Amino acid sequence: MAITEVVVIGGGAAGFFSAIHAAQAAHTQVILLEAGRQPLAKVRISGGGRCNVTHHCFEPSQLVQNYPRGGKALRGAFSRFQPLDVVRWFNGEGVKLKTESDGRMFPITDDSETIVEALMFAAKKAGVFLRNNVLVQKIERFGSSKFEVILKNGEPLVCDRLLLATGSSPSGYAIARSLGHELESPVPSLFTFNIKDPKLNELAGVSVNPAQVKLLIPSLSTDKKKSARNLEQSGALLITHWGVSGPAVLKLSAWAARELHDCKYQAKLAINWLPNLKAEEVKQMLLNAKTEQPKKFISNYCPVDVSLRLWEYLLDKAEVELEKRWADISHKSIQQIVNVLTASEYAIAGKGAFKEEFVTCGGIRLQDVNFQTMESKICQGLFFAGEILDIDGVTGGFNFQNAWTTAWIAAQGIIA
């Protein structure tokens, strides 16, 4: 029977970061267990293989606004360890980060392997004993203050402190339940919207920045006064072969994750293609075109800031004949175009995957965790870090920042 001080289950960003910082403390023995053949799998694929390490937001009160769930709990945590600390830590490990125009931060190499190698080297240097391809079968209390971690091959490990950093893995949730924890039911977050509109789908690759997306979700309640709930986000929007994606859609999917799950991803989406203009301003621009460019075909002359391909599609959606000249466009048709430009409606017919960077809404209930130490309030000696908690952020490096912060605080709690 192997006896150690700390066992960390989960070889992702949170697991590695907590193991490194716990092991750096004098005489702290740490075993890191990873179920897969290769650790840090999600780090490798993040950001299209570039790894969106964190976000260039160094003010905790602003940072927490990017978390649909968990922002309040993270407010104090970010005052202790935030993106600036992450930048400094990686810099100390020889990895420089750069900031892109939207605030996302990547290694200057644009290669996630840079981050993987830094974490692997730091873990080795700290003395972390990494075991890959190891499945945990169950956890039992051993005596009054120890844990017995029983592996699938029957091997037992005994430890004083146990940290779960298993992300959205069902096995991690099962372990937490076996130790007395309840969960907020896990559902997907950060996903694209499927829209069955062949003519829209033909525009795959066209992007609009900014666009405003507004969600109308039918309520499951019988209260007619609460028959629908509106949610909206702004940002870049990308038309795809299956519907729409891009930061605006992904943010909306995160904030409405539970509501969309409850209505089985059947809802209505309104898109404002010109959010920086009021409807009356758009109408005036169209009227000006009618006066100033009367002989031009409406399909060939677009007076607003959208691509010609999108313009033709929106004219068709507004049921306006493309071969007409501006002089022949009626005021009724102009109003129809205004309506489509500022509030096109689409039926969402399901969700799509956002690459392989899935994020889950739900997990360990935050009221059952002490955010000063990340220790369980229910089971002494049990700690949590990362996505296993009911915390999730929008796209842009915020989910990794949750991992770094909670892992660092958990390490401090473990070695206290």
Residues 162 and 99 in one domain: yes
Confidence class of residue 377 from pLDDT cuts 50, 70 and 90? Answer: very high
Residue 228 has pLDDT above 60, yes or no: no
Residues 31 and 170 in one domain: yes
Question: Percent of the chain scored above 70 by pLDDT?
Answer: 95
- What pLDDT is recorded for position 357? 56
Residues 330 and 208 in one domain: yes
Sequence-distant (6+) residues with CB within 8 A of 199 are 313, 316, 317
Contact in structure between 164 and 176 (CB atoms under 8 Å) = yes
- Domain endpoint, select from 353, 377, 395: 353
Q: Residues, the chain, total? A: 416
Kindly state the helix (H) or strand (E) to which residue 46 belongs, with its residue range. helix 41-49
Confidence class of residue 142 from pLDDT cuts 50, 70 and 90? Answer: confident
- What pLDDT is recorded for position 225? 45
- Domain endpoint, select from 311, 329, 353: 353
Would you call 175 exposed, middle or buried from its count of C-beta atoms within 10 A (0-12, 13-18, 19+)?
Answer: buried
Q: What is the DSSP pairing of strand 228-239 with strand 207-218?
A: antiparallel
Distance CA 397, CA 377 (A): 29
Q: pLDDT digits over 163-183, tens only? A: 999 999 999 999 999 999 999
Range of the domain at 207: 191-353
Q: Which amino acid is at 413?
A: G
Distance CA 74, CA 81 (A): 10
Output phi, psi for 111, to 5 deg.
-135, 120
Sequence-distant (6+) residues with CB within 8 A of 288 are 303
Domain count, the chain: 2
Question: Whole-number mean pLDDT of the chain?
Answer: 93
Residues 175 and 33 in one domain: yes
pTM: 0.91
Question: Percent of the chain scored above 90 by pLDDT?
Answer: 90
Q: Which amino acid is at 143?
A: G
Distance CA 267, CA 359 (A): 21
Contact in structure between 113 and 57 (CB atoms under 8 Å) = no
Residues 342 and 281 in one domain: yes
Residues 322 and 384 in one domain: no
Contact in structure between 132 and 11 (CB atoms under 8 Å) = yes
Q: pLDDT digits over 83-131, tens only? A: 999 999 999 999 999 999 999 999 999 999 999 999 999 999 999 999 9
Residues 278 and 207 in one domain: yes
Compute the average pLDDT of residues 277-304.
96
Residues 145 and 104 in one domain: yes
Output phi, psi for 215, to 5 deg.
-105, 130
Residues 283 and 391 in one domain: no
- Domain endpoint, select from 337, 353, 369: 353
Q: Which amino acid is at 52?
A: N
Torsion (CA) 261, 265, 266, 272 in degrees, nearest 10: 110
Residues 207 and 321 in one domain: yes
Three-state DSSP class for 56?
coil
- What pLDDT is recorded for position 47? 87
Residues 88 and 152 in one domain: yes
Residues 184 and 55 in one domain: yes
CATH number at residue 54: 3.50.50.60
Least confident range from 38-42, 43-47, 354-358: namely 354-358
The token pair that represents 41 in the structure block: 């799998």
Distance CA 46, CA 69 (A): 21
